C-alpha cells in the first residue's frame, strides 16, 4: 500500500495526540480511585468491630471468673459453717477415709440452695481441710506441670471442738478466650484457677466417743 507523505504525517500526529490523552485519563482514573470512600465504612467496621468483639469477650470472661469466685466463696462459707458447728464432723464420724469425707463436704457445699454451683460442677471442685499446727498448706497447682498438685484436695484433718481449721476450695474453670488470660494465673492451657479460703475456730460442740476427732 502506498502512503502519501501528507497522510503519514497526519497519522503520526494523531497517534501522538491519542498517547497524550491516555496519560491524563489514567491519572484521572487513579485520582478517582484514591478519592473513592464508598467502601470505607465497611472496612472500618470490620477492623474496629473485630477489636470491639474481642474486648467484649475478654470482659465477659473476667465477669464469669469473678462470679465463679463469688459462687465458690459462698459455697465455702456453707461448708465452713457445717464444720464450725460440728454437724459435719458428727455426720461423718463413721468413716476415716479422707477422699470419702471431702466428697461428702463437697456435696454439702454444692447441694445447699443458698450456694448452688452455677459456673462449675461439683466434681470440678477440690477441698482441703487442715487443722492449725498440723502442717503447712501445699500449693494448689503444680508449677512445673500446670495441673492439680498431688497434695491438694487429698487431705482432711478433722476439726475438733475449739480447734482452728484452715479450709480451702479450688476449681479449674475453662476460659472463653484463653489467649487473653492476663492476671488469671493458674492452670496451663485454657483454664484458670478459682480458689477461696477461710479460717474458722470450731465451736465446742458436744461429742461422744466415735463422734470426737
pLDDT at 121 over 90: no
Rounded to whole angstroms, the Cα distance separating 103 from 168 reads 14
pLDDT at 205 over 70: yes
Q: 0.85 exceeded by the pTM?
A: no
pLDDT for position 21: 47
pLDDT for position 201: 95
pLDDT at 24 over 70: no
pLDDT by residue (tens digit) across 131-186? 987 666 678 888 888 888 888 888 888 899 999 999 999 999 888 877 777 777 77
pLDDT for position 134: 65
pLDDT by residue (tens digit) across 33-82? 556 556 666 677 677 778 888 888 888 888 989 999 999 999 999 999 99
Concatenated DSSP letters of 83-107: HHHTHHHHHTTT---HHHHHHHHHH
Alpha helices in the chain (DSSP H): 5-35, 40-85, 87-91, 98-111
Which pLDDT band holds residue 4 (cuts at 50, 70, 90)?
Answer: very low
Sheet strands (E) in the chain: 125-131, 164-174, 191-201
For residues 18 and 194, the model is more confident at 194
**Listed residue (138, 114, 125, 129) closest to 84, CA to CA:** 129
Amino acid at each position: 500500500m502506498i502512503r502519501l507523505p501528507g497522510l503519514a504525517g497526519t497519522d503520526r500526529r494523531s497517534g501522538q495526540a491519542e498517547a497524550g490523552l491516555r496519560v491524563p485519563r489514567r491519572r484521572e482514573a487513579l485520582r478517582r480511585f484514591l478519592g473513592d470512600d464508598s467502601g470505607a465504612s465497611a472496612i472500618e467496621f470490620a477492623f474496629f468491630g473485630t477489636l470491639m468483639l474481642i474486648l467484649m469477650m475478654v470482659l465477659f470472661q473476667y465477669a464469669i471468673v469473678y462470679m465463679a469466685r463469688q459462687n465458690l466463696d459462698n459455697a465455702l462459707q456453707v461448708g465452713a459453717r457445717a464444720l464450725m458447728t460440728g454437724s459435719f464432723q458428727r455426720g461423718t464420724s463413721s468413716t476415716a477415709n479422707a477422699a470419702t469425707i471431702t466428697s461428702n463436704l463437697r456435696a454439702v457445699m454444692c447441694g445447699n440452695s443458698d450456694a448452688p454451683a452455677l459456673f462449675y460442677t461439683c466434681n470440678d471442685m477440690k477441698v482441703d481441710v487442715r487443722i492449725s499446727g498440723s502442717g503447712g498448706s501445699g500449693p494448689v497447682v503444680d508449677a512445673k506441670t500446670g495441673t492439680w498438685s498431688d497434695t491438694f484436695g487429698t487431705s482432711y484433718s478433722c476439726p475438733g471442738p475449739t480447734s482452728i481449721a484452715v479450709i480451702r476450695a479450688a476449681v479449674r474453670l475453662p476460659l472463653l478466650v484463653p489467649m487473653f488470660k492476663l492476671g488469671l494465673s493458674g492452670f496451663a492451657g485454657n483454664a484458670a484457677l478459682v480458689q477461696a479460703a477461710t479460717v474458722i475456730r470450731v465451736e465446742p460442740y458436744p461429742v461422744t466417743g466415735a463422734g470426737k476427732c
